[in-house]
Amino acid sequence: MNDEMTWAGRRVVVTGGAGFLGRVVCDKLRERGAAEVLVPRRAEYDLTTEDAARRLYADMKPDVVLHLAAEVGGIGANRENPGRFFYANMAMALHLIEHARRVGLDKFVQVGTICAYPNHTPVPFKEEDLWNGYPEVTNAPYGIAKKSAMVMLDGYRQQYGLKSAYVLPVNLYGPHDNFDLESSHVIPALIRKCIEAQERGDSHIECWGTGSASREFLYVDDAAEGILRAAEVMDEPLPINLGTCMEITIKDLVELIVKLTGFEGDIRWDSSKPDGQPRRCLDTSRAERLLGWKAQVGFEDGLKRTIEWYRNVASRHQGIKAGG
């Protein structure tokens, strides 16, 4: 751990700052007294091009860059776009880090992905295992591009003295998540499925797989706090897991969301559909030791907040449709 960086008087660029995680990070930066929080939009700054990265530094003159932006999708999207996902994520990091060096940036923070872990990583995932095998094949181009950014940052620290931090958040959830049934992750998809089934009076909901796979989930506010703590206290891109150390099977997750939404129908499992990676759970002792960070929002509490937010948004949309 190094001398703690303060935000007062600093200009901070947050790539992906308009997204699900980014908006929380930006709010917390303002609360911490950052002088300016700047969010580049893709229409103006396509960061997969070097010219856009160069213009970003020239126009925004940041002291700190928090690089949250990514091109990412589920299994289907990864299968369809392995080349694009590698190129886009590698190119963004490549250009942003190189131009950070050129302008003498105070600090660069890269948000990685647990897709970078080897397919058969022992549970709980420890940062020391990051290089002990090849990632799950459908996620590999995306995961390796993100991991390559960590290697680049370490090289730039050694050669140019660029200060940086690197964090690996587990699956996130919370208000403002993506609730599109075609592209959303498991928690928002289940919340929407239960609430809509409840409103229609359906007798059951259908879920993929057997429910035996396990996952770990981190509330978005906790993730944002972990990213800012890494920015404040880390000067080198040591990989740091951000998670809760709490594993839950998909079966138990579905039953909990059914209970919290009040859906009273049956749960039917389609075992012809895949379960995905059998287990996913992080060891977060490094984050606690180096950042003084630990997840604060309990899982049930976080789910209740997310369900309440979605109900409010869904009812507003229905009101707009009815009024229109």
User: Which residues does the annotation mark as catalytic?
Assistant: 142
Count other Cβ atoms within 10 Å, centred on residue 315. 11
Q: What is the largest CA-CA distance in the chain?
A: 63
Q: Are 115 and 130 in contact, with CB atoms under 8 Å apart?
A: no
Q: How far apart are CA 270 and CA 178, in angstroms?
A: 23
Nearest to 67 by CA among 110, 29, 27, 10: 110
Beta-strand runs (E) in 153-275: 164-169, 171-173, 204-208, 214-215, 217-219, 239-242, 248-249, 266-270
Query: What is the DSSP code (8-state) at residue 31?
Result: H
Q: Are 204 and 263 in contact, with CB atoms under 8 Å apart?
A: no
DSSP 37-65: EE---TTT--TTSHHHHHHHHHHH--SEE
Residue 161, sorted as left (phi over 0), alpha (psi -120 to 50) or beta, turns out to be left
